[in-house]
Structure 1
Amino acid sequence: MTSSTASAAEPSTAQGTAQELASAMERDLGLTSAEAQERLDHESEARSINSELRSELGDSWAGSFFDGDSGELTVAVTDDAATDTIASAGANPEVVSYSEDELNAIVADLDAQGSQTGDGIAGWYPDSEANAVVVEVLEGQEAAAEDLVAEAGVDPGAVEVAQTSEQPRLYADIVGGNPYEIAGTGLCSVGFAVEGGFVTAGHCGSAGTNVASQDGSGTGTVANSQFPGADMGHVAADSNWVPTPAVNDYEGGTISVAGSQESPVGASVCRSGTTTGFHCGEIRAKGQTVQYAEGQVQNLTRTNVCAEPGDSGGSWLTDNQAQGVTSGGSGNCTIGGITFFQPIGPILDEFGLTLVTS
């Protein structure tokens, strides 16, 4: 989002987009320039293969994960007969016990039971690489996870318990990545421009909340908001706040947004936010349920990218493909952390929005 009263940087070309992302990936993932570019190329191919196979494999689909070192995509499946199809498409097949639908059903059962849980459980998510649902607990609270699994009546053989040092929190103090003010009380970050406004995190403001660009030249109103349950928001902007297909790279430029093709687990992902700027890491899991103090949120994507308060709502992208908006997490950009984002697809579908693209 840019204001029509201020000059805006032109969105990068495709080559410029790759160069800007590669620079951040070199810094945050420890890659050389050539390695970063090669990884982006491999990930682009993996996104296409992933989308094709997910549709073709149907109920036997059990998830996928990308290996950044080898550049290869592995697709898990419950049907032995599907391995040739996977290999022919250019991915590595792996036969597992539980389908994605079965793991998601376990997550749904934990969601229903977990809304009643107290302190000690941070959340849970389906891990496609482990072919299990992981329940995260604070140190010393493993018994709480065992009780949750028993009370939910799910298969304990499909569940793993892992420790975390912090309870997740929301990242809000109250062109993508730019700050906006919430009713004069705090800041969040713009996610992505849509026709007539932008998407952001739902916890940044309820429907009817007035917002403004930080310089005050553009104003808008939260038209749609869901939180908790989901963490999605939509701001309708006035004519002075012009939607542009760009994300702030916090290096003096922007990265163009060409679409919203979903990236697999293991793919690199970068985010933009007003507090900490532009950072990169990897997608670690999808379908995460998070137990925030303010309420439970389902179907978030888990990453190893850092973020801090004020980054909420900001943009997540792989290459030039929009992935989602910042929700919350744990840690910070000094020591590192875990951050969750609300996927972009459900926001566009739920609110009937059209992403602005280059």
Structure 2
Amino acid sequence: MTTGGVRWATRHGRLAVAAASVGALILVEAVVAASPAQATATTPWETVDAVTVSGEAEDVPAELEAALERDLGMSAREYVEQSERAREAVDRIDSLPAGIDVLGAELTTKAVVVYLSDPNQVPIVEAEGLVAEVGEPPSPDYSDELFLPANDLRGGLPYFFPGDGGEGFRCSVGFPGVATATGAPQFLTAGHCDGDLSGTRSIMTAVSPGNFRTPFVNIGEPIPDSHVTGGNGTSGGWDHGLVGVTRSGWTSRPEVVTWGGGQGGPLSSAPVIVRDATRAVVGAPICKSGGTTGWTCGTITAVNQNLRVGGADDPTAYQVNGIVASICVLGGDSGGAALTGTTAIGVTSASNSSGGCTAGSLGVFAPLYASSGASAETLYQGAWEPSIGISTPLVTTPSTTGSFTGSTMRGTLQHGGPRHRIEVTFNGSVTRTAAVASNGSWQVSVPNLPNGVTAYSVRARWGERSLSAARTGSWWNVSTARLAGPDRFATAVEISRAAFPSGAPVVVIANGLSFPDALSAGPAAVQLGGPVLLVGPTSIPSVVRTELNRLRPQRIVVVGGTGVVSGAVATELRSFASSRSVTRLGGADRYATSRAIAEFAFPRASEVYIATGAGFADALSAGAAGANRAAPVVLVPGTASTVDSATRSLLTRMRISQIYVAGGTGVVSGGVVTSLRTVAPVTRLAGADRFATSLAINKQAVRGSASDALVTYGLNFPDALAGSVLAGVRGAPMYIAPTTCVPRDMIAHMRSLSVGRVTLLGGSGVLSSDVGRLRPCP
């Protein structure tokens, strides 16, 4: 008898089958049809994922490779490919539109052949990449074969049980599983492994298949009413039973022992982890584990076969809905696990071999799931399920770094498929679930979450009780906005509107074309309660006039002498102040102006930021930090050998207790720092460049968390002058950045603060859309 491309003649007759109980011989009678001819594939297989196949093939132990070559003439890679295709075949059929009447299916080397009752449904099925044939699926004729029922906590281990008359019997463990309602461990076996159903079952110590020694270790008793043979009318009966794992010391594992690939000890080669459970497919490879013949493999030749186990005159005979395979099975293998790849499909039920296995040996397996007829699913009605070993899910989107504002979370589950589902819990409270696709991919919609850092935990589930380890992580959920106008004056107005939407009691005016006198203005403006607006040295832009009218300040403060903001401008500004008060804060140079601003706004302060007046980069970042911490910024000649006496006196009058120096020794010398230490402790905040220094200043100034962050251009000053006020109002860090990206460490710091909103200060000419997307710098 052969399989594959030969079309078998339809015959009717008696099929002698021996059930696996040691010493028992029962006849099986079945009416069977022809075996399928090799299908001519019109649609070739899609390529099985090479990475998955290669990975799983590499995981096949050498002993199992030898068994595959011995029994199937297959390499490990070919076996994995065929196993994946068998599982995919079931998934493809299950995904057909509702109403398609599938009579059967077969896996060939080139295609999945689906047998239909309605010829009108052929185009629909073929559109799904399947081969459609009309009519009942042909079936092999086993009427001349004699099957012996295999008498017989990992699947495949042998166990002993007492008979009704005091004799002893041996079967094999099928699949460890659980009672779905309680989670109590129970293993599936063959229903005819019954004997004394009140008697204790004991796992036998096996040296090799059929070779046992003491001790036998008690494991538990059969679940009442769970051992069933036959029944189910004319649709093919059951051969299933459950044993409760009630003795202490046992741990059920979703694994099947492999007996060294055949004739070794149960664990002399790595066990197969059971990754899924589904229906069997004709043409798929099958391997089984049992206490008598160990690990053997073959090919499935028929499914949903209504077989009579026992002779016509045998009162104990019963019908079994069987999976039939060309495989070696002997007495004592009964109940053992049968798999296609890593997918559980059935438990050993019967065999046509009694004295030994031959080229014509056939095994019969009671299915876990079936498209028709009896199965463990139809018998237990969801009260029991196999334990499935589930990999920890992988998350591909979002990445573990950077920000994420998408609406869909994606990932993969190795060995996963439609019978698995994903559960994602966000921030420990909101859970979303999703099915897994045939290729192991999954996606869930992201709920509406507050901005900031979102923590997640992802688990995969099979059935009700099999659950993977959790994959945990987080992403940064952040929105971005931009405050900008057509020029620096209009941008400062936009920032003012954001910071003071309802007006302000004071406005600080600075020259928008020159930075020195304005660098100390930001912290002072926050302390005084108003924005910084920019003007020209001799004129007030119309957009600024409009903003002054909206703010309706009581008074106005001008920073810098008449050389930077003219007397005519100051006079005109009086008309915008309700008190007609304009105060000018200026000095002989930028340093004196800085001291004047600081002393005016901060008669007392505990902290101060010292920055060079020769450049603007470090002082801009210091200004935002000072605005956050109610600390003035004081400019000094950074390359001097010591701090000037006027600055020393100012700091003493203000009763400063902590000094922060912005920038490295190239901008504020070591001599200046040493002399400042005579006033108060000094901490230098510096990095390798202006961007790293900005980060160092923000790390010191803003700790814990911040809902907002500001980003401004680091190679010019105007937008940052006004922006430091918004930083103080919002309690936000303000970072300086280049035009096209954001330094990675800055992004990491924003994330560590759980920033939920990032506001760009300035137009796209200074901060591009890539900065808005928080693209990391190379």
Same fold (TM over 0.5): yes
Q: Give the conservation status (yes or no) of the 8 Å contact 1:172–1:187.
A: yes
Cα separation, partners in 2 of 1:57 and 1:28, compared to 1, 3 Å: farther
Confirm or deny that 1:39 pairs with 2:78: no
Unaligned runs of 5+ in 2: 1-54, 179-184, 205-214, 232-237, 261-267, 311-315, 370-374, 390-778
1:185 aligns with 2:168: yes
CA distance in 2, matches of 1:188, 1:326: 10
Distance across 2 between alignment mates of 1:90 and 1:247 = 33
After TM superposition, give the deviation of residue 43 of structure 1 in Å: 2.4
Aligned to 1:337: 361
In structure 2, what is the Cα distance between the partners aligned to 1:23 and 1:91?
Answer: 33
Residue pairs, 1:1-358, within 5 angstroms:
15=56, 19-20=60-61, 23-53=66-96, 56-58=98-100, 60-67=101-108, 69-70=109-110, 72-96=111-135, 98=136, 128=137, 130=138, 136-137=142-143, 164=144, 166-172=145-151, 175-183=154-162, 185-195=168-178, 196-206=185-195, 207-214=197-204, 215-223=215-223, 224-229=226-231, 230-238=238-246, 239-251=248-260, 252=268, 253-293=270-310, 294-331=316-353, 332-345=356-369, 346-351=375-380, 352-358=383-389
Give the SS at the match of 2:276: coil
Long gaps (5+) in structure 1: 1-13, 99-127, 138-163
Q: One-letter code of the match for 2:60?
A: Q
Q: Could you tell me which amino acid in structure 2 is paired with residue 193 of structure 1? A: P
Closer, same or farther: CA 287–42 of 1 in aligned 2, 3 Å = closer
CA offset digits 1:110-134 (Å, max 9, x no partner): xxxxxxxxxxxxxxxxxx2x2x7x7
TM-superposed CA distance for 1:18, in Å, is 5.9
In 2, Cα distance between equivalents of 1:306 and 1:336: 9
Structure 2 distance, partners of 1:292, 1:65, is: 25
Aligned-pair identity in percent equals 28
**CA–CA distance in 1 between the matches of 2:218 and 2:336?**
18
Q: What is the alpha-carbon distance in structure 2 between the residues aligned to residue 255 and residue 337 of structure 1?
A: 24
Paired letter, 2:309: Y
Q: CA deviation at 1:295?
A: 0.7
AA in 1 matched with 2:93: N
CA separation in 2, counterparts of 1:32 and 1:167? 31
- SS of equivalent residue, structure 1 residue 313: coil
How far is the alpha carbon of 1:300 from its aligned partner? 1.4
User: Contact 2:80/2:341 (CA < 8 Å) preserved in 1?
Assistant: no
Secondary structure class of the residue paired with 1:204: coil
> Residues of 2 paired with 1:234 and 1:31: CA distance?
34
What is the identity, as a one-letter code, of the residue corresponding to 2:220?
G
Residue 312 of structure 1: CA displacement?
0.5
Q: CA deviation at 1:24?
A: 3.2
Task: Return the letter of the residue paired with 2:271.
Answer: T
CA contact (8 A) 1:198 1:236 kept: yes
- 1:101 corresponds in structure 2 to none
SS at 1:337 equivalent: coil
Question: Whole-Å Cα distance in 2 between the matches of residues 301 and 189 of structure 1?
Answer: 18
Once residues 181 and 309 of structure 1 are traced to their aligned partners in structure 2, the CA distance between those partners, rounded to angstroms, is 13
Structure 1 residues 75 and 169 mapped into 2: Cα distance closer, same or farther (>3 Å)?
same
Q: Report if the CA contact (8 A) 2:325-2:362 is conserved.
A: yes
Partner of 1:161: none
Alignment partners' CA distance in 1, 2:258 and 2:129: 33
- The alpha-carbon distance between structure 1 residues 79 and 18, as it changes in their structure 2 partners (threshold 3 A), is farther
Aligned AA for 1:64?
Answer: A
Amino acid in the other structure paired with 2:376:
I
Say whether the 8 Å CA contact 1:61–1:76 is kept in structure 2: yes
Instruction: Letter of the 1:38 partner, please give it.
Output: E
Going from structure 1 to structure 2, the CA distance change for 1:264 and 1:22 (only over 3 Å counts) comes to farther
Q: Contact 2:278 / 2:368 at 8 angstroms: preserved in 1?
A: no
- Distance in 1, matches of 2:121 and 2:251, equals 47
Structure showing greater relative contact order (alpha-carbon pairs closer than 8 Å, 6 or more residues apart): 1
**Contact 2:79/2:341, CA 8 A, preserved across alignment:** no
Q: How far 1:61 sits from its partner (Å)? A: 1.6
Contact 1:172–1:310 (CA under 8 A) maintained in structure 2: yes
Q: Does 342-351 or 181-190 show the bigger shift? A: 342-351
Q: Is the 8 A contact 1:18 1:319 kept in 2?
A: no
Asked if 2 retains the 8 angstrom alpha-carbon contact of 1:168 and 1:290, the reply is no
Give me the whole-angstrom Cα distance separating, in 2, the residues matched to 1:208 and 1:281: 35
Instruction: Return the offset for 1:277.
Output: 0.7
Tell me if the contact between 2:84 and 2:341 (Cα under 8 Å) persists in the aligned partners.
no
Q: Which amino acid aligns with 1:250?
A: W
Runs of 4+ in 1 over 6 A off after TM superposition: none
Matches of 1:270 and 1:286 in 2, distance apart?
15
Between Structure 1 and Structure 2, how many residues are aligned?
280
